[in-house]
Structure 1
Amino acid sequence: MPHSPERRPNMQQIGQAAGVSKSAVSLALRNDPRIPEATRLRIQQIAEEMGYRRNPVVDSLMTQLRAGRQPTFQANLGLINCSPISDLSKNHTFRRLREGVLRRAEDLGYGIEEFWLQQPDMRPQRLKQIVETRGIRGLILIAALSPDTIDRGYVDFWYDFACAVIGVTHLNNRLNCASNDQYLTARRATGKVLELGYKRPMLVVPPHDDALLEDKFSAGFYSAARHLSVLDQIPVVPLDLDDPHAALQAIRQQRPDVVITNKSEFYSVLQDDGIRIPKDLGLVHLDWHDALANIAGMRQNNRVVGSAGVDLVVGQLQKNEFGSQEFPKVVQIESVWIDGPSVKLQKPVEKNVSKKKT
């Protein structure tokens, strides 16, 4: 018996009557070719008998969403390049952060205007005048390599805007931040090589890089390596690419079976020293990207980090929040492991298990 108009069935009820899933009902009612024609017709007939009627308002809205209509333009945001280099594309991490910012801003209906903080004629008052004249209320700080790279005149500058930092968390100015979770990146890289069968991992990173990340690389490494036997626990080795002799000497003395680093240049340094990768030594990169097809490592998903930074600023604008935050939000994006030919699967240790005779 058909349902009355006041009690029209939903897709879940139709699916139960037809013996199919709710999603199959949705596809069938839209004549989607992924559902066989005979099944589509049967589901449509059951829906009609049960009194189902399409909602034209909902249909219109869903059509717009599926068509991917661009949202109405909202405003412009400012992307503030805090690094000493004007072209962010020269650094693969900065380039991906920027791409994430641009894509997410476009999705939300915001434009992006870019400013270079370190250009010779840029001063706090000049930048503030430019930004305010253009009606920009939200700022995203990118590539802040250290607090020293930012002129002291900018100490209070950010507090007139909705503002977030992307890429690092070290700026102690109570601003929201989006970054990769470098602690988990190093911890999971170390855990992965142990899972592959390596026994003596070594972390080799420039001290300045680890300090910039508040020692998260070394902390993540130690948190995973502490479960090893004392003899297999190797201290973090500092890397100086201008003079890598000390790092190479540490490898010869400590005899690791895999090295974890954040510098792709170290691959060539090892090869030039006669080390065969992965036959003699495995190698893992902590900031893997598409150009490193010859290396295994952790992709830090920096485009997602940039996207999260936009969400933080837009969220502040929508709530009319400006200046320093009483409880700053830190959004940390996890990395994913990428297989590569710089590591090999070690043979697992066979346990000597005696079998009882039956």
Structure 2
Amino acid sequence: MASTQTSNTSSSESAKRITLRDIGKELGVSHSTVSLALNDHPRISQATRDRVKKAAKKMGYSPDPMLAALASYRRNQQTKPITASLAWINAWPEAEDLRAHHEFDHYWKGAYEAAKQFGYRLEEFRLDGKFTPQRLHQILSTRGIRGILLPPHRHQPDWQDFPWENYSVVRFGRTLHAPSCHVVTSDQVSNTILAFVAMHKRGYQRIGFVAPEAELRRNGIIFELGFMGGQRMVPDAPKLPPLLLPRSKSTGERRQALVQWIEEHKPDAIFTSLTDLPQMLQEKGYRVPEDIALAATTILDTPIDSGINQHPEEIGRVAFLTLNSMINEGSRGIPKIYREILVEGSWVNGTSLPPKGESAAR
């Protein structure tokens, strides 16, 4: 009997479902116009989009999950023709320096390919003395571009009075302090714990962590928290303090601080984000990996081949999917509730951190 009631209830709800055609009939427009308006397509005027959304809400419209799944399946079977663009804003002093970082270039590639599957073209826009935020907004607005991806930046751009409220925006990483939009980045705490445990499993006991102090400040001491978590995961390993090198010190002073830390704490392996650490160690007479083995927070953009693959193309893909969802929902401007989406990395074995016995035998 209960089964019959459930079936009847389901049939009743199905019969009452408001469709796109119902909304179109109410407003005197086609169902395809309603669909495009609900998805914030730039081909539909803002006034029409607002009118359709208001009517849909008033009539109690909600998407059919089965039809949405079918539409998603069809999308995945073929690449859609390019119908709109998204903006990737590059405010680096030297534009080419951004994607010279392999990690950031993979962000671009992941986002670009994912966008193409949904009928978008990802385009890079410069922001500099000649190309102001006001000019950028004018161009984006004229072209009907409503989605923005913000890659990492070394310095904070001067956004002036750029109208973020007109755009759906997603940031990569934590380097940008503004705008306070949703973020997609690597799970640096989880990755650091993973690295510490993997290094310990390969026979290393005295595991240290070395990074620029400024980098930890930008990332909210995320790596350091992960390192402390890794130490707790392996309670029998000695707990070496991390070495944070301030950029205010000269190169010679930083290298001397490194030597003093090594002499005091005698690490047999170091987890690091410093790309020049192998060179610094070599100049001070330490062999890698015979004397000190190394693993990197990311195996890209570094001569260290052991460490974490942060899966940057997946980060790029997830950033686009997040942006696409926001565009479809009509979510724009600075969110009241901030989201941070983390992509987990994986450990990669390499020659810079062989099993402990192998490095000693060299």
Q: TM-score, normalised by structure 2?
A: 0.71
- AA aligned opposite 2:227: F
Matched, 1:81 2:97: no
The counterpart of 1:307, out of the listed 281, 305, 317, is 317
Matched, 1:128 2:137: yes
* Cα distance between partner residues in 1 of 2:300 and 2:153: 21
Structure 1 spans left out of the alignment, 5+ residues: 1-60, 348-358
* Cα distance between partner residues in 2 of 1:76 and 1:140: 11
* Cα distance between partner residues in 2 of 1:176 and 1:113: 20
Asked whether the equivalents of residues 180 and 334 of structure 2 are also in contact (C-alpha less than 8 Å), the reply is yes
Distance 1:327 1:272, change over 3 A: same
Asked whether the equivalents of residues 169 and 179 of structure 1 are also in contact (C-alpha less than 8 Å), the reply is no
Query: For residue 347 of structure 2, what is the aligned residue in structure 1?
Result: 337
* Cα distance between partner residues in 2 of 1:73 and 1:295: 38
Question: What secondary structure sits across from 2:347 in the alignment?
Answer: strand
Root-mean-square deviation (Å): 2.6
The counterpart of 1:161, out of the listed 146, 155, 167, is 167
Counterparts of residues 131-150 of structure 1 (less than 5 Å): 131-145=140-154, 149-150=156-157
Structure 2 spans left out of the alignment, 5+ residues: 1-70, 358-362
Residue 83 of structure 1 and its aligned partner are, at CA, apart by: 3.1
Which structure carries more helix by proportion?
A: 2
Asked whether the equivalents of residues 82 and 145 of structure 1 are also in contact (C-alpha less than 8 Å), the reply is no
CA shift digits 1:202-231 (9 cap, x unpaired):
100001111111111111001111455698
The counterpart of 1:267, out of the listed 278, 283, 298, is 278
* Cα distance between partner residues in 1 of 2:194 and 2:180: 29
Question: What secondary structure sits across from 2:355 in the alignment?
Answer: coil
Question: What secondary structure sits across from 1:203 in the alignment?
Answer: strand
* Cα distance between partner residues in 1 of 2:202 and 2:318: 32
Residue 235 of structure 1 and its aligned partner are, at CA, apart by: 0.9
Asked whether the equivalents of residues 153 and 175 of structure 2 are also in contact (C-alpha less than 8 Å), the reply is no
* Cα distance between partner residues in 2 of 1:194 and 1:230: 10
Matched, 1:325 2:331: no
* Cα distance between partner residues in 2 of 1:192 and 1:231: 13
The counterpart of 1:202, out of the listed 193, 208, 212, is 208
Asked whether the equivalents of residues 164 and 175 of structure 1 are also in contact (C-alpha less than 8 Å), the reply is yes
**Count of matched residue pairs:** 281
* Cα distance between partner residues in 2 of 1:273 and 1:121: 45
Matched, 1:254 2:265: yes
Asked whether the equivalents of residues 152 and 176 of structure 2 are also in contact (C-alpha less than 8 Å), the reply is no
Distance 1:152 1:128, change over 3 A: closer
Residue 172 of structure 1 and its aligned partner are, at CA, apart by: 5.6
Asked whether the equivalents of residues 238 and 247 of structure 1 are also in contact (C-alpha less than 8 Å), the reply is no
- AA aligned opposite 2:196: T
Counterparts of residues 144-293 of structure 1 (less than 5 Å): 144-145=153-154, 149-154=156-161, 157-168=163-174, 171=177, 173-226=179-232, 232-239=238-245, 242-243=251-252, 244-289=255-300, 292=303
* Cα distance between partner residues in 2 of 1:145 and 1:290: 15
Asked whether the equivalents of residues 151 and 171 of structure 2 are also in contact (C-alpha less than 8 Å), the reply is yes
Asked whether the equivalents of residues 82 and 143 of structure 1 are also in contact (C-alpha less than 8 Å), the reply is no
- AA aligned opposite 1:183: V
* Cα distance between partner residues in 2 of 1:136 and 1:99: 19
Distance 1:133 1:152, change over 3 A: closer
CA shift digits 1:167-192 (9 cap, x unpaired):
22763644111111111121211111
Matched, 1:69 2:78: yes
Query: For residue 37 of structure 1, what is the aligned residue in structure 2?
Result: none
Matched, 1:104 2:111: no
Question: What secondary structure sits across from 1:322 in the alignment?
Answer: coil
Structure (1 or 2) with the larger CA radius of gyration? 1
Identity of aligned residues (%): 25
CA shift digits 1:41-94 (9 cap, x unpaired):
xxxxxxxxxxxxxxxxxxxx9x9889x532133310011123333112222222
Query: For residue 306 of structure 2, what is the aligned residue in structure 1?
Result: 296
- AA aligned opposite 2:145: I
* Cα distance between partner residues in 2 of 1:308 and 1:79: 15
CA shift digits 1:232-290 (9 cap, x unpaired):
21111023583322112211221011011012211121122221111111100111128
Query: For residue 17 of structure 1, what is the aligned residue in structure 2?
Result: none
Asked whether the equivalents of residues 205 and 237 of structure 1 are also in contact (C-alpha less than 8 Å), the reply is yes
Question: What secondary structure sits across from 1:153 in the alignment?
Answer: coil
